[in-house]
Amino acid sequence: MDLTILAQTVASGLLIGLVFSLLAVGLTLIFGVMDIVNFAHGEFLMLAMYVTYWLWVLWGMDPLFSLPISALVMFILGALTYLLVIRYVLDAPMLAQIFSTFGLMIFLRFLAQVLWTEDYRRIRGSLLEGRIEIAGVFLGRPEVAAALGGIITTAILYWFLKGTRLGWALEATAEDRTVAALMGINTEWMFTLAWGIGSACAGIAGTLLATFYPIFPEAGAVFVLVTYVAVALGGFGNITGAFVGGILIGLLQVVGGFLWEPRFKDVLVYGVYLLVVLVRPQGLLGRR
């Protein structure tokens, strides 16, 4: 009995952790290539949730099919963010970079509030609805789908970075943008690509979350703060680290909340993060 509950808790932690992983991977990809933290990442997630919602309400398109569309929309939005804003602060002080994306966060969040009010919206009756049972453990199908989506997207991204020439070019730019440019890589295009892909990760995560999580203007804020912790926990710019960090955060939240008090789950997340960086200031898998 108790064991089942624990298994249930660990499973849910793992599932939501994989969504954090996907978010964290997108964030850390952007950071790795140009040392900028995108504070608007959560708002991209939130916008993707709304894209999914409106496609569902207006055209009856199931989230399963709107997934590529919202990924594409967020890719374009991310690329535009680079081209219109980030390009101009690449060599600016860190604080100017922080505020450029922070301003964007405020802009997008309250734009969503003005356009669509603060009401909670939900998608009901999608193809994914329902739940499955594995050895006495019940799992929501949307959560399982979201976790699978997280794994598959991260795997594809990993393959892209390690196995294709374009991916190598991206990694080379992350390593040293001056040398990469000397080697004939169009770094400007690489930066745009990194922002596009990173934001598309948030887009995919947003659509997957929209199937089981309420949609509202501050939805991004709920997820993104702990995602920063996941990224820093894994080591800024480290894809594997972000993936592991995301899973750890999810487990900490759900299992910790279950063993202690659900309302203090995030205290645990932030506390563990502070403890880890006390021992390893560069994060779990980060390089100095």
Partner 1 sequence: MQSVSRQGQEPRSGPWWTRRWVQWGGGILLLIFLLLFPYLFPRPFLRRMAILVLLWSLLGLAWNIIGGYGGQVSLGHAVFFGLGAYTSSILLERWQVSPWLGMLAGAAVAAIAALLIGWPTFRLQGHYFAIATIAAGEIFAILFRNWEWAGGAVGIYLPLIRGDQLVNFQFHETKVPYYYIVLVMALLAVAVTYALERSRAGYYLRALRADQDAARSLGVPITRYKLIAMVISAVLTAIGGTFYAQFVLYISPNTVFALMLSVQMCLVAVLGGLGTIAGPIIGAMVLIPMAEYTRVFLGGRGGGLHLVVYGLLIVIISVFQPAGLVGLLRRRTRPTPPPAMPTPAEEGIA
**Is the torsion defined by CA of 272, 278, 282, 286 positive or negative?**
negative
* Chain-centroid distance, C-alpha 264: 22
**How far apart are the C-alpha atoms of 142 and 234, rounded to whole Å?**
26
**Is the torsion defined by CA of 225, 212, 260, 218 positive or negative?**
positive
DSSP secondary structure string for all residues of 159-185: HHHHHSHHHHHHHHHHH-HHHHHHTT-
Q: Which stretch binds partner 1 (CB under 8 A): 6-14, 139-147, 175-183, 276-284?
A: 276-284
Residue from 113, 144, 151, 171 in contact with partner 1 (CB under 8 A): 113
240 forms part of the interface with partner 1 (CB under 8 A): no
Number of neighbouring beta carbons within 10 Å of residue 84: 10
Residue 267 C-beta: closest distance to partner 1, Å: 5
Write the single-letter amino acid at 169. A
Q: Is 134 helix (H, G, I), strand (E, B) or coil?
A: strand
Q: Which stretch binds partner 1 (CB under 8 A): 12-20, 137-145, 164-172, 227-235?
A: 227-235
Residue from 156, 260, 270, 287 in contact with partner 1 (CB under 8 A): 270
**How far apart are the C-alpha atoms of 4 and 133, rounded to whole Å?**
12
22, 28, 272 from 277: Cα distances, Å: 22, 17, 9
Residues in 137-196 at the binding interface with partner 1, rule: CB under 8 A: none
- In sequence order, what are the residues at sequence separation of 6 or more whose Cβ sits closer than 8 angstroms to the Cβ of residue 171? 161
267 forms part of the interface with partner 1 (CB under 8 A): yes
If the CB atoms of residues 63 and 257 are measured against partner 1, the closer one turns out to be 257
Residue from 22, 28, 31, 202 in contact with partner 1 (CB under 8 A): 31
Residue from 5, 57, 96, 156 in contact with partner 1 (CB under 8 A): 96
Q: Which stretch binds partner 1 (CB under 8 A): 123-131, 141-149, 205-213, 268-276?
A: 268-276
282 forms part of the interface with partner 1 (CB under 8 A): yes
DSSP state of 124: -
If the CB atoms of residues 110 and 138 are measured against partner 1, the closer one turns out to be 110
Number of residues interacting with partner 1: please give it, by CB under 8 A. 46
76 forms part of the interface with partner 1 (CB under 8 A): no
98 forms part of the interface with partner 1 (CB under 8 A): yes
Contact positions vs partner 1 (CB under 8 A): 31, 35, 37, 85, 88-89, 92-100, 102-111, 113-114, 225, 228-229, 231-232, 236, 263-264, 266-267, 270-271, 273-274, 277-278, 281-283
